[in-house]
C-alpha cells in the first residue's frame, strides 16, 4: 500500500514537472515569433521610408525646373530696330511726314544706310531735295559722314519726288569704319534732324 502511494506520488510529481515544462515551452514558442516580427518590422521600416520619402521632393523640383526657361550663356545678340518714343514718332510724322527711321551698317561696315518711309509727300519733300546735303554725325567717334558721289551714278541717295507709303534711302561713306554698330548717331538733312538713332 505504501509502495502504491509512493508510485502515485512520483507519478503526480512527474506529471506536474512535465506540465511545467510544456507551459515553458509553449511560452517560448509564442514569444519568439513576436520578437522576430518586431525585429523584422524595425529592419524593414527604415528602408521603406528611404525609398519613398526622397522621391517626391526631387520629382517636384525636376517638374518645376523643367518648365522654367533659363537664359543661354553666350547667345548671340542683335541690335533692335530704333525704338523711338511715341513723342518722337509724332514729331517726325507731324513735322516731316515720315516714320520708320532706321540706320544700318552695310557693305562690311564701309557704308551706313539711312532709310525712312514717307507718309506725307509734301512734308517729306525737303528730305529728297538734292539742294539739302545730308550728313551723319557720330558724337562718340567724333566723325561726320557724307553721301559720296560716284562716276556715272552720282550721289548715293534717292532724290525723286516722294510718294506716300514708299521707303527711301541714302548711303553715307564710312571710310575707316569709324562708325560702328551700336553707336548712336544723328542724321541731318537741311532743317531736318533725327537724333539718337542706333546703328544696326
In a domain, 60, yes or no: no
User: Same domain for 12 and 107?
Assistant: no
Q: Note the pLDDT of residue 77.
A: 45
Structural domain for 16, as ranges: 1-36
Alpha helices in 129-200 (DSSP H): none
Return d(Cα 116, Cα 89) in angstroms, integer: 12
Name the grid cell of 151. Answer: 562716276
In a domain, 97, yes or no: yes
In a domain, 191, yes or no: yes
Q: What are phi and psi of 60, to 5 degrees?
A: -65, -40
User: Same domain for 27 and 101?
Assistant: no
User: Same domain for 165 and 97?
Assistant: yes
In a domain, 49, yes or no: no
Structural domains of the chain, count? 2
Residue bearing the bigger pLDDT, 177 or 61? 177
Q: Note the pLDDT of residue 3.
A: 54
- Whether 35 shows a pLDDT value over 60: the answer reads no
In a domain, 78, yes or no: no
User: Same domain for 191 and 97?
Assistant: yes
How confident is the model over 58-81, as pLDDT tens digits? 444 444 444 444 445 444 444 455
Q: Note the pLDDT of residue 86.
A: 81
User: Same domain for 26 and 107?
Assistant: no
Please, which pLDDT band fits residue 97 given cuts at 50, 70 and 90?
A: very high
Alpha helices in the chain (DSSP H): 2-52, 55-67, 86-91, 121-128
In a domain, 54, yes or no: no
How confident is the model over 141-166, as pLDDT tens digits? 999 999 999 887 788 999 899 999 99
Amino acid at each position: 500500500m505504501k509502495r502504491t502511494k509512493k508510485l502515485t506520488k512520483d507519478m503526480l510529481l512527474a506529471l506536474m514537472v512535465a506540465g511545467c515544462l510544456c507551459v515553458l515551452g509553449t511560452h517560448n514558442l509564442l514569444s519568439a515569433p513576436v520578437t522576430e516580427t518586431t525585429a523584422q518590422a524595425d529592419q524593414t521600416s527604415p528602408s521603406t521610408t528611404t525609398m519613398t520619402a526622397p522621391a517626391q521632393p526631387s520629382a517636384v523640383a525636376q517638374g518645376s525646373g523643367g518648365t522654367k526657361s533659363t537664359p543661354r550663356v553666350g547667345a548671340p545678340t542683335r541690335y533692335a530696330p530704333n525704338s523711338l518714343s511715341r513723342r518722337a514718332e509724332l514729331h517726325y510724322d507731324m513735322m516731316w511726314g515720315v516714320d520708320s527711321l532706321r540706320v544700318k551698317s552695310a557693305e562690311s561696315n564701309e557704308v551706313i544706310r539711312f532709310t525712312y518711309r514717307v507718309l506725307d509727300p509734301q512734308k517729306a519733300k525737303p528730305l529728297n531735295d538734292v539742294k539739302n546735303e545730308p550728313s551723319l554725325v557720330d558724337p562718340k567717334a567724333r566723325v561726320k559722314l557724307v553721301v559720296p558721289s560716284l562716276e556715272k551714278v552720282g550721289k548715293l541717295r534717292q532724290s525723286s519726288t516722294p510718294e506716300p507709303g514708299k521707303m527711301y534711302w541714302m548711303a553715307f561713306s564710312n571710310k575707316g569704319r569709324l562708325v560702328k554698330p551700336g553707336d548712336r548717331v544723328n542724321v541731318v538733312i537741311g532743317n531736318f534732324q533725327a537724333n539718337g538713332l542706333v546703328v544696326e
